[in-house]
């Protein structure tokens, strides 16, 4: 049986020096979630955690050409390892997330609804795109385990040229 989502907030930024707006929003997260464990990771923390806690992913992590790809892998990994809620540092909260995740083992959000034509072009089974700017899961949730495995196996494949298959209107 999968446990409930623990009250842990994970956030990341390049360094500990946050832009003023982001620092304000982070403080709001803390104010709205006073009994939560608030964890913040900069790029050095992220690299160390991947190396220490998921060394099998270090080659994948290091091979990514863009920092955002490393950040994306880390956000999935830390929620998989420890459970909790991940929120981008530029997400401004308005309410506590306690009721939203109460009793749940995984909470995802929709970033975009996709029209039928784009759904076919992109090869999506469903007409939506799941957001990775905010999500939550219990520790070791199988969704995130499979996602991480999928990323790791896909990283060994040659990159697709999405620009050649997707046309903007």
Task: Look at residue 52 and tell me if it is in a domain.
Answer: yes
Question: How confident is the model at residue 121, as a pLDDT?
Answer: 84
The highest-confidence range among 72-81, 118-127, 159-168, by mean pLDDT, is 72-81
CATH code, domain with 77: 3.90.550.20
142 is a domain residue: yes
- Distance in angstroms (rounded) separating the CA atoms of residues 79 and 140: 8
Residue 28 in any domain: the answer is: yes
Q: Strand runs (DSSP E) across the chain, as ranges? A: 8-12, 37-41, 84-87, 106-107, 110-113, 128-130, 134-137
The answer to whether residue 85 sits within a structural domain is: yes
In a domain, residue 150? The reply is yes
Tell me how many domains the chain contains. 1
Q: Is residue 167 part of a domain?
A: no
Cβ proximity of 118 and 58 under 8 Å: no
pLDDT value at position 117? 86
Torsion angle, alpha carbons of 123, 128, 129, 131, to 10: -170
Identify the band that residue 160 occupies on the pLDDT scale cut at 50, 70 and 90. Answer: low
**CA Rg value for the chain:** 17
pLDDT level of residue 168 (50, 70, 90 thresholds): very low
pLDDT digits (tens, 9 = 90+) for 126-157: 887 788 999 999 999 999 999 999 999 877 65
Whole-prediction pTM: 0.86
Question: Tens digit of pLDDT for each residue in 62-92?
Answer: 999 899 999 999 999 999 999 999 999 999 9
| CA gap 53, 7 in Å, rounded | 21
How far, in Å, CA of 14 to CA of 67, rounded? 9
The range of the structural domain enclosing residue 41 comes to 8-111+130-157
Rounded to 10 degrees, what is the CA torsion of 74, 76, 80, 85? 100
CA dist 148 and 163 (Å) reads: 25
């Amino acid at each position: 049986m999968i446990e409930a989502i623990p009250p842990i907030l994970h956030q990341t930024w390049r360094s500990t020096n946050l832009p003023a707006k982001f620092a304000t929003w982070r403080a709001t997260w803390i104010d709205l979630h006073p009994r939560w464990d608030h964890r913040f990771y900069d790029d050095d923390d992220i690299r160390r955690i991947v190396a220490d806690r998921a060394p099998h992913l270090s080659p994948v992590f290091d091979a990514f050409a863009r920092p955002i790809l490393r950040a994306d892998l880390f956000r999935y990994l830390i929620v998989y390892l420890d459970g909790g809620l991940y929120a981008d540092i530029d997400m401004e909260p308005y309410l506590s997330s306690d009721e939203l995740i109460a009793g749940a083992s995984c909470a995802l959000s929709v970033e975009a609804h996709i029209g039928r034509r784009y759904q076919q072009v992109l090869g999506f089974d469903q007409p939506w795109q799941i957001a990775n700017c905010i999500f939550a899961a219990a520790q070791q949730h199988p969704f995130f385990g499979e996602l991480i495995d999928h990323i790791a196996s896909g990283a060994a494949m040659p990159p697709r040229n999405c620009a050649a298959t997707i046309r903007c209107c």
